[in-house]
Amino acid sequence: MVHPVRLGLVTVLAISLAGIGNSGAKIAVRIDHVTLSSMVEKPATPGSVTWVAIRQTISPGWHTYWKNPGDSGLPTMISWILPTGMIAGAAIWPTPERFTTDSIVNFGYRGAATMFVPITLSPKAVPGVIKAKISLLECGHICIPEEASLDFDLRRSFGQQKQFTEARANIPQMFPGSARVSTNQGNVVLTLNGAVLKRARSNEVQFYPATPFVIDYGTKPAARFTNGELELVFRPASFPKAFRTFSGVIVIAGIGSYDIAAGKKASSSVTSTTKP
């Protein structure tokens, strides 16, 4: 959405977990209208992958943005401070929703959103406290750019299992089939094939494009199901950019939400991205 932007310092309320290090670790930070919380599913061990999560609790009337924010806005960004022997993987985003104001379309989150991140430890890594620096844009009647830091103690679990279960339910699954993309008279045509599509009972489909500046966000695609195949025809963006892979999240009524990555030749939509 297009809003005035407020710049400047914000008041930050940090909650510390006693007994971690000398000064405690920040596990929850309040920045104006969003509370950021750190979660660790289970204690990390050397030579393994452990999942951490960043939860956004968003005040009513406000929202933050997905990795493709749409016509305006900024995605949430994470940078990590890690010791030797640890690597942070790409963030796994929950399924977004669409915000529309006049002709402006955005993708993001209201209420709450939880992002998962895999942390890989080498066999010689020593679990301890790691830090994430987070920047985001929160918007309501105005937009406020925010920055904050969170700590994650990999030596212990933190966060209720119910929170992890609910957050996982909002993560799109990899599409169990094939996907290809083509162009036809200027339109972008996404074709999916898979047995799961035979379960579709309506043409109610939502698509959130992760590849920016390819399709027109404000025009609903034409959808056609035919015996395990789904064809979506998108109107192109006003000034479309060239692309090799067209990716996004598709939500099919009665079936679920799926990550899609389509090339111009039919191929499995499954990528090397690990799911939490």
Tokens representing 117 are: 């991140």
Residue 123 has pLDDT above 80, yes or no: yes
The secondary structure element, H or E, covering residue 163 is helix 161-169
Give the pLDDT band of residue 264 (cuts 50, 70, 90): confident
Q: How far apart are CA 178 and CA 191, in angstroms?
A: 8
Q: Are 202 and 178 in contact (CB under 8 A)?
A: no
Nearest to 56 by CA among 19, 29, 17, 91: 29
Segment among 97-101, 216-220, 268-272 with least mean pLDDT:
268-272
Instruction: Please count the other Cβ atoms lying within 10 Å of the Cβ belonging to residue 29.
Output: 21
Q: How far apart are CA 207 and CA 231, in angstroms?
A: 12
- Which residues are within 8 A (CB) of 252 and not within 5 positions of it... i.e. 6 or more apart? 197, 200, 204, 205, 230, 258
* Percent of the chain whose pLDDT exceeds 70: 87
Dump pLDDT digits (tens) for 66-80. 999 999 999 999 999
Instruction: Please count the other Cβ atoms lying within 10 Å of the Cβ belonging to residue 6.
Output: 11
Which pLDDT does position 71 carry in this prediction? Answer: 96
Dump pLDDT digits (tens) for 33-42. 999 999 999 9
> Burial letters for 91-101: b for 16+ Cβ neighbours within 10 Å, e otherwise?
bbbbbbbebee
Q: How far apart are CA 246 and CA 193, in angstroms?
A: 16
CA distances from 242 to 210, 213, 214, 235, 264 (A): 14, 9, 7, 15, 12
Q: Are 156 and 38 in contact (CB under 8 A)?
A: no
Residue 11 has pLDDT above 60, yes or no: no
Residue 20 has pLDDT above 80, yes or no: no
Q: Is the Cα dihedral 255, 199, 209, 105 positive or negative? A: negative
Q: Are 63 and 75 in contact (CB under 8 A)?
A: no
Dump pLDDT digits (tens) for 181-233. 999 988 999 999 999 998 887 778 999 999 999 999 999 999 998 888 999 99
Which pLDDT does position 4 carry in this prediction? Answer: 53
Segment among 122-126, 231-235, 263-267 with least mean pLDDT:
263-267
Which pLDDT does position 270 carry in this prediction? Answer: 47
Give the pLDDT band of residue 268 (cuts 50, 70, 90): low
Instruction: For each of the domains in the chain, give its residue range(s) and CATH number, in order of start.
Output: 12-169 (2.60.40.1250), 173-268 (2.60.40)
Dump pLDDT digits (tens) for 150-195. 999 999 998 888 889 999 999 999 999 999 999 998 899 999 999 9
Which pLDDT does position 164 carry in this prediction? Answer: 92
6-18 average pLDDT score: 42
In this structure, are strands 256-262 and 173-174 parallel, antiparallel, or unpaired?
parallel
CA angle 121, 160, 41 (to 5 degrees): 10
